[in-house]
Every structure is written in structure tokens, then in C-alpha cells.
Amino acid sequence: MAEKESSPSETSLISNKEETPNGNTFDFKKGVKNLFETSPHMKKLPPEFVLQLDKNPLTSTLAEIPVIDLSGLNCPSEIRTSTVKAISSACELWGFFRITNHGIKMSLIEEMLGVAQEFFDLNLSEKMKYASEDVMSPVRYGTSLNTSKKHNLHWRDYFRHYGHPFQHSFHLWPVNPPKYRNVAKEYLEEIWQLAMKLGGAISEGLGLENGYIEKSMGEGLQILAANYYPPCPEPDKTLGLAAHSDHGGLTILMQNGVDGLQIKHNGEWFSVQHVPGTFLVNIGDYLEEASRGIFVR
């Protein structure tokens, strides 16, 4: 539910309100979903969304990233060792890998996707209760880039909130949709355990003491980020999300059947196809530092 794509120019400045191609004045802070729904006959992007791209993002080659069967971590030592080596190799050569047999039920994944969609389908006034310019806000709805700096706009809306440790933020999560809190908490608990399992394998692969990565993160901070990308009238001229690295340790990404994710490998951008029932894992800035630069991001 996130994208890594080619980097835009960040030269044009925007105001809060601009005129859409149909002549209406639109407050871009309301998000691209609202823009799309209130301008159903839009054929061209508003100029604020047009980015100076080095290449057409729709022409990127499909990546063949490593696929790792995570059940190998529960197998006898020889198979476990092979799985740990595969994870380390993927982190070193790609910074990305896809995992199968991760232990999280498809029914829970589908429920999480469902309540996220229900949140974005709420009326605008309900979603705007969570709008904030504070990038450190524990619950935040917004659009475009996740920054208050003036920039070219990007074709996405997002909803973010803290997860583990739950006692600090659970009471701030949305009460609408009605099932959101319970489903998100169960999902994030499962994802946290998966992250700890991966952290253990990464520690082992780096030759560190048992549990080093998990211990070094302490109590840790988990963030759920849901991105919404409405249909785009000119997808070759904009991006859902600019090129970036993730600041944390691990990102465990659930895709929803809509292709568009891109990753950078050896200086070139590749598209990553959605594979049902799997997660895409990528390392963040913290793990690159913890590996002393052995891992790439």
C-alpha cells in the first residue's frame, strides 16, 4: 500500500486553492480522491500534479526480486540456515524481497484492506477530523507528500497512525469504520511478530548476537500507512509517491492488486508486480546503518 518511484522536480510552489480544468476552485488539501470524484470528466491533470520526470514511469521493466519461503525459518537447521542466507543476500543485493508462507491469514489481510478502503470511502468531513500539518501526529490523514514543505503535488491520499506499543495511540484511532480499531490492532500485532521474526533472521545473517536487531530497537515504534491512489487521467505525467527511503527498520508492504510500485536497483527503476498472498519487505535507513552499510536500501 505504498510506492517507490522516480523522483520529481520540487520547484513549483502551490497555494491551498487552485482552479481545476472544469473551472471550479478546489482545495487540494481535501485530497485527490475528492478531486477525482468532484471532477468526474477530468481528462488532463491539474498543472500542480504534473512532474518533470526523467522517464515515463509506465515503461519500467518488471523486476524479478528474490522470493523467500519464510516457513524455512521453522525447519531443521540446514533449511533454516539456507533461508537466513537467502534473506541476507536479498538485503545485500536488493534491499527488497518478497515473502511467502509468512503465517498471516489471508482473511485478516483482506479484512485490513477492507477497513482501509472503508476509511477512504468515508465522507470528507469525517476524514478531515484526522488532517494535520504535524508530521509527528500519531494519527494523520493527508494527501500528496508526507511533508509540510511546499512541493509539486502527488497523486495519492494517505492515512497513517502509530501501532505497537498500542497503549500510546490506540484510543486515538478512528471509531469509523466501526470495525477499524479491532481489525487494525489484530493485523498490526501479527505484523509486529512477523517483523521480530525477520529481525532475528537478519541478526543471525549478519553474524550478530541472537536478537540483536530486536533488542537494539527497544520498545520500537510501528506505523501503519495506507495509501489511496484514485484513477489518474494522465498516469505518465505524475507519481503516486516520490522516490524515497524508509526511515525505520523494516517495511512490510501489503499490495492490493493494483500494480504501480517501483523500486530502484543498480541505478535503474523497476516495476514490482502484485502477487496475492505475499508481502514485500524492504529495509530502511536504520537497518542499513545497523549492518554497517552491508545492506542496501
User: How confident is the model at residue 248, as a pLDDT?
Assistant: 86
297 and 288 Cβ atoms separated by less than 8 Å? yes
Over range 118-132, report the average pLDDT. Answer: 96
User: How confident is the model at residue 138, as a pLDDT?
Assistant: 96
Could you tell me which residues are beta bridge partners of residue 268?
265
Residue (of 2, 4, 5) closest to 253 by Cα position: 2
3 and 240 Cβ atoms separated by less than 8 Å? yes
Q: Report pLDDT digits (tens) over 144-177.
A: 865 555 668 999 999 999 999 999 999 999 999 9
User: How confident is the model at residue 145, as a pLDDT?
Assistant: 66
Residue (of 85, 105, 288) closest to 191 by Cα position: 105
158 and 141 Cβ atoms separated by less than 8 Å? yes
Angle in degrees, CA 188, 296, 260, rounded to 5: 60
Q: Report pLDDT digits (tens) over 183-218.
A: 999 999 999 999 999 999 999 999 988 888 888 877
192 and 164 Cβ atoms separated by less than 8 Å? yes
Q: Report pLDDT digits (tens) over 245-262.
A: 888 889 999 988 888 899
93 and 126 Cβ atoms separated by less than 8 Å? no
Q: What is the pTM of this model?
A: 0.88
Q: Report pLDDT digits (tens) over 63-93.
A: 999 999 999 999 999 999 999 999 999 999 9
The backbone torsions φ and ψ at residue 80, rounded to the nearest 5 degrees and listed phi first, read -60, -45
User: How confident is the model at residue 152, as a pLDDT?
Assistant: 81
User: How confident is the model at residue 35, as a pLDDT?
Assistant: 92
- Report, in this order, helix, strand and coil percent for the chain, each rounded to 5: 35, 15, 50
Q: How far apart are CA 176 and CA 262, in angstroms?
A: 32
User: How confident is the model at residue 172, as a pLDDT?
Assistant: 97
User: How confident is the model at residue 218, as a pLDDT?
Assistant: 73
User: How confident is the model at residue 21, as a pLDDT?
Assistant: 46
Per-residue pLDDT band for 242 (boundaries 50, 70, 90) equals: confident
Report how far apart the first and last C-alpha atoms of the chain are (Å, whole number): 18
- Where are the extended beta strands (E) located within 67-182? 67-69, 96-100, 139-143, 157-162
Q: Report pLDDT digits (tens) over 1-36.
A: 333 332 322 222 233 454 544 445 567 889 999 999
Residue (of 223, 234, 224, 229) closest to 157 by Cα position: 229
